[in-house]
Amino acid sequence: MAKDIQTAFIKNASFEVFRYQLVVDKTMPIHLYGKHETPEQIRADKNNIFKELITKDKFSFHSSNSTINSKLLHQDGDMYYFKISAKRSAHIYKEDFTEDTIDNFPNIIVAINNHPDVQKIAIQTNITAFKETKIVRKFILESIDSKIKDYNLSFFLDPIYDKQDFWNFVKKYPKSIKQLTFDLISPNLANISKNLTLNLKELYEDTNTQRTKLELNADPDSYLDVKESSKFVSGLVSYGADGGGSIYARVVGSRKKINTAENPSEFNIEDKLIKENDWEALDKLFKDILI
């Protein structure tokens, strides 16, 4: 008689991946107590400035829409791991058949790789804490950008996604795309801007632009002819997909702009490691994944 074989169910925690960029505002007066005298010196030191900001004892993430708490739980080299909880209400049923509502604080991990050639943030998905990672992205932006501006820097955070998502969108709407808008961050990561034929860096150096919008519009009675073979367009798409900005489209019959890629790259980690706070194992995994 054959024996029953049971496969142990392994529960995983899912993470979505975002890219941050730190862009110097060259028009702001330098006032870092004499530590930096030029925008070039700030640019060279931007990751140390970011590190000093997020590791300060008084630093915490804040949200204008939720009551949250955050704590830096572990760091090693360029890696930083925060836990962020949100105050929620939980409905419970008691032994005496009555009901009650108690405060509940579900939490997530936010992992940061601050290496100058990486600059990625992984946000854990947990709908009990936050309905969408874009909510977490928003308050990370609010929390860091407002403080890092004191250092003549702007902080941007955009999802990393598969560039094929964009080309699948193009195939989905043949002869229907009326407008494409590329909302691009001025680059400070050479490894993600190498395919750009539009020299965003030179444009930034000449004008101090922080974000640049390039809008393509078809004639009212026509449509955009978008081809993957175009080096110009493919370069813009690759840069956006690597976390360099967002791409929006407007199609025939709709006034609303559509985000052409709303699914950030994601990966899974065994939930048990998180519950046990096994930071040695977690750090090794994140260093292999978040690169």
65's tokens: 């829409």
Residues with Cβ within 8 Å of 291's Cβ and at least 6 positions away in sequence, in order, are: 113, 118, 120
Q: Give the tens place of pLDDT for each residue, 151-179.
A: 999 999 999 999 999 999 999 999 999 99
pLDDT for res 7: 46
Residue whose pair of structure tokens reads 């706070």 in the numeric block: 277
Model confidence, pTM: 0.90
Distance CA 7, CA 247 (A): 43
In the structure, what pLDDT confidence band is assigned to residue 33 with cuts at 50, 70 and 90?
low
Mean of per-residue pLDDT scores for the chain: 91
Distance CA 36, CA 40 (A): 9
pLDDT for res 30: 67
Question: What does the longest C-alpha to C-alpha distance in the chain come to?
Answer: 81
pLDDT for res 162: 96
Burial class (CB in 10 A: 0-12, 13-18, 19+), 28: middle
- The answer to whether residue 32 scores a pLDDT higher than 60 is no
- The answer to whether residue 3 scores a pLDDT higher than 50 is no
Domain-wise residue ranges, the chain: 12-160+264-289, 164-259
Q: Give the tens place of pLDDT for each residue, 262-285.
A: 889 999 999 999 989 899 999 999
Q: Give the tens place of pLDDT for each residue, 79-127.
A: 999 999 998 888 888 888 888 888 888 999 999 999 999 999 999 999 9
pLDDT for res 90: 81
25-34, 71-80, 260-269 — most confident range: 71-80
Helix segments in 62-185, DSSP class H: 133-148, 164-172
In the structure, what pLDDT confidence band is assigned to residue 43 with cuts at 50, 70 and 90?
very high
